[in-house]
Structure formats: C-alpha cells, structure tokens
Amino acid sequence: MSGSGLLVVRAGALTTVQDLGRPGYAHLGVPRSGALDTAAHALANRLVGNTAAAATLETTLDGVRLRALAPVTVAVTGAPCAIRVSGRPAAWGAPVRLPAGAELDVGRAGAGLRCYVAVRGGIAAAPVLGSRSTDLLSGLGPPVLAEGAVLAVGAAGPSAVSGADALRVPGPPVAELVLPLRLGPRADWFTGASLAALLSSGYRVSPASNRVGLRTEAGPVLARAREGELPSEGMVLGAVQVPPDGLPVVFLADHPVTGGYPVVGVVPPGPALDAAAQARPGVAVRFVPA
C-alpha cells in the first residue's frame, strides 16, 4: 500500500466502497453485494489503469467531496454530474489528476442515481471474504463513508490505460427502464391474466427502493393462482419476487440469499440491471419477455 490517501470532506447521502462483490458464499448466508452499476464501476477503474476488481466509491444522488493527501489520479463515471477540483470545473468520464491537497467535488447527479469514483491503485479497505464491498444487508465490509474518514489508496500500476479518456462513456439514464424477464421458477403461482398484465403493463420505481431491491409501484397487482406460502428457497441476483402486496421487487446486489415469497421470474445480469441501478423513484418500469 502506498502512503497516499483520501480524506472524506463531505460524505454524501450514501457513499460506500464497492468492488465486484463476494460471490460464492450464499450457502453461508452472505449476499454477493458489489457495485450495482457494474459497467460504470469497470469503466471508472479502466480510466485510471486499475483492473475491474479494484474497489471504487459508489455515491448516491448527491455525490461526495474528497481531499487528496498525496497526488492521485481519479475518474468519475455512472450518473452524469458536475466535477470540480478545488473549485475549478474538471472532466467527467475521464482521468483527472489531483495534486496533494486538492479537493475533488463530485456534484449532484443530473440524471440517474449513482456515481462511481475510481482512484488509481484502488480503495485499499481491508477485504472481508475476498471483497472490499460494503454490504448494507449483512453489515460486512467497510463502513458507510463518514466525514473525516481517511481512505487508504493502494499501490498504483505502471500507468493509466493509454487512450482510456477516449473510451465511449455511456449516455444518461433513459426515461423508461425496460427489464427483460425470464419467467419462473414460480410463475405458476400466479394467474395467466396476471402474467399477461406483468408483461404488457407498466410500473414505476418506488421511493422504497435501495441496494437490496428495486421496488415497484403504480402497476398491476399480481394475483395468485394458489393459496399458501412457500418454504424459504435460494434467491439470485435479478430475481423478481412478489410479496403479499402483489407488486414486483427486483433483487439487486445486497439481496438476501433466501426468501419465502414466490419468484415470478429473473432479470438476467447485464445492462438491464446496470440501468436499474440508475433508476430514480418515479421512473417508468416495463417488463418484457427475455
């Protein structure tokens, strides 16, 4: 580890350390966790010359402010936002050099929800079960960022990626979130009319959404075709569980590893779940056959 670090001047509404998560521990009751928008996380790392496995900061809505304790290179991706270095405008979606003492201010997201701040060398939090990710459900990993905390930075690689600042940066989040859905394993727990409505009607992102799951509202309530409850069974990333209120919940990175409500289908990992990470409350949601 190098002697460099980042002082948290403003922590933001919810800023956490995230990497690619800790898969493979569901049998121990440990969620995967990790960056919600995996593409934005990977791009931020590439821009500063890290591997995708390096830990970044994931901000929520109103960004973060950091002071460099030694010279570092950073990059911000994800939700478009204003970037300033010691009060001066700086590039979003490109490598930015911070001299010692300079402050990086990641502003409020103009669209979308989450920004990713990568630093060359990665955030060097202590790994837990092989990951530096903060898991809000289980409490594993580093704490949520707080003002005054100092973030250690790992040793930098030989150089940032040549031409990385010319990479295509994803555009702003779309006005409608379209989620491909593979029906099952418990689609038979719902009426045919409900399944048809699920794939033909729209919902909205609920304000109750978080890193555990994207909750929906203002759409058709899914009626069950059978009574009773399921024994708890394993849950996967992207599982669409239907609680008693009949409104689908899309499980995200901090989802529980088991659940007793029926899963009507699964949204495959990939661009759709990355887009779900950027969907603000009130955004339209539509499920389509995968």
Helix H segments across 120-278? 192-198, 271-277
**pLDDT tens profile 142-190:** 999 999 999 999 988 766 665 555 555 555 667 899 999 999 999 999 9
The predicted model gives 263-279 an average pLDDT of: 96
Which of 8, 47, 48, 64 shows the shortest CA–CA distance to 155?
48
Q: What's the pLDDT band for 2 if we cut at 50, 70, 90?
A: very low
Q: CB atoms < 10 A from the CB of 46, how many?
A: 20
Instruction: Provide the percentage of residues in the chain whose pLDDT is more than 70.
Output: 93
Three-state SS for 137?
Answer: coil
pLDDT for residue 89 = 98
How far apart (Å, rounded) are the C-alpha atoms in residues 248 and 251? 10
Looking at every residue in the chain, the average pLDDT score rounds to: 93
When comparing pLDDT for 232 and 173, which is higher?
Answer: 232
pLDDT for residue 173 = 66
Q: Cα separations (Å) of 282 from 76, 199, 252?
A: 25, 19, 18
All structural domains of the chain, each given as residue ranges with its CATH number in brackets, are 5-166 (no CATH), 176-289 (2.40.100.10)
**Is the model's pLDDT at 123 over the cut of 60?**
yes
